[in-house]
Amino acid sequence: MNAFSKLTLAIAMAAGASIATAQDNGHGSHAGNGSHGAHASHAGHQAAPAELVDGEVKKIDKDAGKITLRHGELKNLDMAAMTMVFRVQDPAMLEQVKVGDKVKFSADRVNGAVTITQMQKAQ
């Protein structure tokens, strides 16, 4: 986990350096507009994890706290639609669904693992 934290910090610092360099190389107000645009899109990107994605339950492993879902695109994780195994943030989520159920869910990286942070049966 410590190595993951260091990697995350290094990526964040590199991204910050890239943005600073781009701003320094800009011309007049154009660089300012680009800066505001970057902040606006970044702020919008932070809201992305709340977006619910359609999925279908393929397998449930209550002992391991995992669920296999066929899902749509996870934009906040830059992940295409596929079938994959997820950890669940709250094991009680697994009690609310069964194989074959349609769900809506959100996922994020938690301690380096793609984890379902919210899930509900689709209406």
Torsion of CA 60, 62, 65, 67, to 10 degrees: 10
CB atoms within 10 A of CB 66: 18
Q: Is 18 in the same domain as 70?
A: no
Q: Is 104 in the same domain as 60?
A: yes
Q: Is 39 in the same domain as 74?
A: no
Q: Is 42 in the same domain as 57?
A: no
The confidence score (pLDDT) of residue 51 equals: 86
Q: Is 33 in the same domain as 56?
A: no
Between CA 112 and CA 48 the distance in angstroms is: 18
Concatenated DSSP letters for 21-37?
HHHHT--HHHHHHHHHH
Nearest-CA neighbor of 119 among 75, 67, 45, 79? 67
Q: Is 67 in the same domain as 24?
A: no
Q: Which residues form the domain of 114?
A: 52-121
CB atoms within 10 A of CB 53: 20
Q: Is 81 in the same domain as 112?
A: yes
Q: Is 56 in the same domain as 25?
A: no
Q: Is 76 in the same domain as 109?
A: yes
Q: Is 109 in the same domain as 62?
A: yes
Number of C-alpha atoms within 13 angstroms, CB side, residue 24?
6
The confidence score (pLDDT) of residue 12 equals: 52
Per-residue pLDDT of the chain (123 residues; tens, 9 = 90+): 555 555 555 565 554 544 443 444 444 444 444 444 444 444 444 444 458 999 999 999 999 999 999 999 999 999 999 999 999 999 999 999 999 999 999 999 999 999 999 999 998
Q: Is 37 in the same domain as 69?
A: no
Maximum Cα–Cα distance across the chain: 59
The confidence score (pLDDT) of residue 48 equals: 44
What is the tally of structural domains in the chain? 2
Residue 105, judged by CB atoms within 10 A of its CB (0-12, 13-18, 19+), counts as: buried
CATH number of the domain to which 112 belongs: 2.40.50.320
Q: Is 36 in the same domain as 65?
A: no
